[in-house]
């Protein structure tokens, strides 16, 4: 085994273990949130003995919970199949009516607040393929994905280039993207974030 193969295997195993730890952490966070919700509901029901006080307390609690706490506990974001890192080409097979969400990595993209920088996402495709980039910003809250694709910053028959906002990286865990095939046949594309 030469150094290149060893380096590839090492980086692949590190990336795989990082993804496993992240998945485990996310699952534990979901269980913790559900447990907290059950405790809060139980506490609100059992808190008072007086029926009038209990009803007033429960009504106030439910309103406060719905406005202040619930949006932070609910995660409406779909799981991601890919985390796009800066400067790496990703070959993707795009099929009609197949939804596959991805998000952008913060790695290499976060800059100091006073620094301005443009971020781009490039799709290299076959000239016959018609593809849209669909965004879902703030998916953690009670929003829904955009029905229309983003408008490319520049476009050629074989390349679409989209300008991506800085918040897509700063709040990567609450922003999702997917490619939508508008032409009839399955196609392979390459995506890259610069």
pLDDT for the residue 193: 94
- Give residue 62's Cα distance to chain centre: 29
pLDDT by residue, tens only, the chain of 194 residues: 566 555 555 555 555 555 555 555 556 666 666 676 666 666 666 665 555 555 665 666 666 666 666 656 666 788 899 999 999 999 999 998 888 899 999 888 877 777 888 899 999 999 999 999 998 887 776 667 888 889 999 999 999 999 998 888 888 888 899 999 999 888 999 999 98
pLDDT of residue 155: 96
**Confidence (pLDDT) at 15:** 55
pLDDT above 70: percentage of residues in the chain: 59
CATH tag for 82-193 (out of 3.40.50, 1.10.1060, 2.60.120, 1.10.150): 2.60.120
Distance CA(135)–CA(104), nearest Å, equals 12
Handedness of CA 69, 71, 72, 74 (dihedral sign): positive
Q: Which residues contact 75 (CB under 8 A, 6 or more apart)?
A: 30, 33, 140
What's the pLDDT tens digit per position in 140-169? Answer: 766 678 888 899 999 999 999 999 988 888
Q: State the pTM of this model.
A: 0.63
CA distances in angstroms from 21 to 24, 33, 193, listed in the order given: 5, 18, 25
Classify 3 as helix, strand or coil: helix
Phi, psi values for residue 155, rounded to 5°: -150, 135
Contacts of 147 (CB under 8 A, 6+ apart): none
pLDDT tens column, 11-31: 555 555 555 555 555 566 666
């Amino acid at each position: 085994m030469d150094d290149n193969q060893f380096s590839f295997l090492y980086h692949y195993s590190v990336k795989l273990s990082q993804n496993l730890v992240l998945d485990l952490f996310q699952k534990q966070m979901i269980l913790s949130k559900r447990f907290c919700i059950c405790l809060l509901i139980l506490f609100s029901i059992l808190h008072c003995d007086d029926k009038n006080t209990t009803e007033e307390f429960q009504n106030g609690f439910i309103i406060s919970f719905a406005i202040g706490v619930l949006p932070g506990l609910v995660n409406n974001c779909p799981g991601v199949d890919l985390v796009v890192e800066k400067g790496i080409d990703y070959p993707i097979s795009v099929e009609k009516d197949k939804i596959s969400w991805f998000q952008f990595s913060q790695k290499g993209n976060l800059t100091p607040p006073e620094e301005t920088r443009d971020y781009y996402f490039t799709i290299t495709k076959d000239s016959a393929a018609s593809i849209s980039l669909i965004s879902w910003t703030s998916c953690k809250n009670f929003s829904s994905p955009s029905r229309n694709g983003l408008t490319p910053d520049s476009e050629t028959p074989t390349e679409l280039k989209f300008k991506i906002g800085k918040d897509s990286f700063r709040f990567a865990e609450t922003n999702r993207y997917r490619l939508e095939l508008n032409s009839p046949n399955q196609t392979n594309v390459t995506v890259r974030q610069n």
